[in-house]
Amino acid sequence: MEIISNEDQFECLKSMQSTIKKLEKAYAQMNQKGANTTLVKKRLDACKIGLAMLENVWNEVPHSHSHTELAGAQKVLLALTPSVESSYAKSKAGSPQRTLLERRLKALDLVDEAIKDQISMENS
């Protein structure tokens, strides 16, 4: 994995935590209304795995996710990227929303890299 400054690591971890909180809130609200929560739950679980992978790489926090779970999370998170990129393209330069989306894209990219590294280590 590429070398990331401590500040960027902090911002990426914070971004993933923020995304998880947002998804937890959406999941609770949808569950309360009786709406279908399958997609939100998949995204929430994938983000939790993504956060665990970043913490594993940068802070050496052990994780217990299987190869299958990692691959599934990677697929879900990669599917999120185009919508985040679209929102980023529509956001105003210098806006707080643009900064948040920029950090989220960076975090998603680094999670993808961390999962690829983990999977390749398991396969070797």
User: Cα–Cα distance between 64 and 60 in angstroms, integer?
Assistant: 13
Q: Which tokens hold the place of 6?
A: 């401590």
Q: Which residues neighbour 114 within 8 Å (Cβ) at sequence distance 6 or greater?
A: 1, 50, 53, 54, 56, 57
Q: What is the pLDDT of residue 123?
A: 76
Global pTM value: 0.92
Q: What is the pLDDT of residue 39?
A: 95
Q: What is the pLDDT of residue 89?
A: 95
What is the overall mean pLDDT for the chain?
93
Written as one string, the DSSP assignment of 54-121 is: HHHHHH-------HHHHHHHHHHHHHHHHHHHHHHHHSPTT-HHHHHHHHHHHHHHHHHHHHHHHHHH
* Confidence category of residue 101, pLDDT binned at 50, 70, 90: very high
Provide, rounded to the nearest whole percent, the portion of the chain with pLDDT above 70.
98
The hierarchical CATH code for the domain 6-123 is 1.20.1260
**Extents of the domains making up the chain:** 6-123
CB 78 within 8 A of CB 112: yes
Q: Which tokens hold the place of 119?
A: 């999977």
Q: What is the pLDDT of residue 121?
A: 83
